[in-house]
């Protein structure tokens, strides 16, 4: 998929989809993963490795309790790892040759396009969420010292812990909803067409609003699958992430036309 210097492409029209499309795109995502499993495993590796590094850093520092807000925010970075999976699905869909040089070449070429700008927005949202999570922790739990022997169950389930989890979960859901709205169509659109990242984000929000009930359910499916994949030391993401990545490309196709 080569892109030469030219003017912006026209934006695709927005379609209204149904809940049945969620099951359909998941089946297509699984099909694409099974057709090209090595690509899915490769693009999942960086994401999984990042999770393991964060787990190790907090474990060595004796600050395992910060894994809770990081775990809530970490899936916000999933779209960043999905670009290669989008390209694999695009090539399978178009019947184009599928090879490592061709796929990685397209991924590498994105450095000169608009995806890095949107990736920067994703990272800023993630970092801001971590900052807010720290602030909420200090607000509800106060300034206190912890050791590696701190009982995390007591920490989060006693005193102000439950209220902190409730408020933090609501705030985290808000961050995730904003990111989801700007990327569900915006990220694959930037791979598919020559448009600026601000226009892509706006178009993505418009597509999300036009399909709000279905998108809420789709977001819940993604979040649930990602958290389930994170539980066994992030290893479940080797399957969950590529299936969702491929499925997200097909969801983009169903939500747009032209």
Mean pLDDT of residues grouped by 10 in the chain (258 residues)? 67 97 98 97 81 64 55 57 90 94 90 88 83 85 60 70 88 90 95 96 98 97 87 82 94 92
Taking CA atoms, 177 is separated from 17, 96, 136, in Å, by: 19, 34, 19
Orientation of helix 20-35 relative to helix 212-230, angle to 10°: 40
pLDDT of residue 247: 97
- Token look-up 């597509």 returns 207
pLDDT of residue 68: 55
Q: For residue 17, give the H/E element and its range.
A: none
pLDDT of residue 67: 55
What are the structure tokens assigned to 223, written together? 């979040």
pLDDT of residue 226: 84
- CA-CA distance, 125 to 77, in Å (whole number)? 9
Q: Cβ(114)–Cβ(193) under 8 Å? A: no
pLDDT of residue 77: 57
Contacts of 40 (CB under 8 A, 6+ apart): 32, 33, 85, 88, 238, 239, 241, 242, 243, 245, 246
Helix (H, G, I), strand (E, B) or coil at 257: strand
Beta strand residue intervals within the chain, DSSP E = 13-14, 256-257
Give this prediction's pTM. 0.85
- CA-CA distance, 85 to 83, in Å (whole number)? 5
Taking CA atoms, 40 is separated from 36, 59, 75, 99, 164, in Å, by: 7, 28, 17, 13, 36
Q: Counting beta carbons within 10 angstroms of the beta carbon of residue 160, is it exposed (0 to 12), middle (13 to 18) or buried (19 or more)?
A: middle
């Amino acid at each position: 998929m080569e892109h030469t210097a030219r003017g912006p492409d026209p934006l695709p029209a927005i379609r209204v989809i149904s809940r049945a499309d969620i099951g359909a795109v998941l089946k297509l995502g699984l099909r694409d993963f099974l057709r090209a499993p090595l690509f899915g495993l490769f693009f999942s590796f960086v994401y999984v490795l990042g999770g393991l590094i964060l787990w190790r850093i907090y474990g060595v520092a004796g600050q395992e309790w910060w894994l809770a807000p990081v775990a809530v925010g970490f899936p916000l970075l999933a779209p960043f790892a999905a670009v290669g999976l989008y390209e694999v699905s695009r090539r399978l869909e178009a019947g184009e040759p599928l090879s490592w040089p061709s796929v990685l070449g397209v991924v590498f070429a994105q450095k000169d396009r608009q995806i890095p700008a949107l990736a920067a927005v994703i990272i800023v949202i993630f970092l801001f969420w971590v900052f807010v999570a720290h602030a909420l922790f200090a607000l509800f739990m106060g300034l206190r010292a912890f050791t590696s022997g701190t009982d995390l169950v007591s920490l989060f389930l006693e005193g102000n812990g439950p209220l902190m989890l409730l408020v933090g979960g609501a705030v985290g859901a808000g961050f995730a909803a904003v990111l989801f709205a700007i990327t569900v169509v915006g990220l694959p659109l930037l791979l598919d067409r020559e448009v600026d990242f601000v226009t892509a984000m706006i178009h993505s929000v418009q597509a999300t609003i036009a399909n709000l009930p279905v998108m809420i359910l789709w977001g819940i499916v993604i979040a649930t699958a990602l958290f389930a994949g994170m539980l066994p030391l992030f290893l479940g993401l080797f399957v969950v992430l590529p299936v969702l990545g491929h499925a997200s490309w097909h969801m983009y196709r169903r939500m747009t036309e032209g």
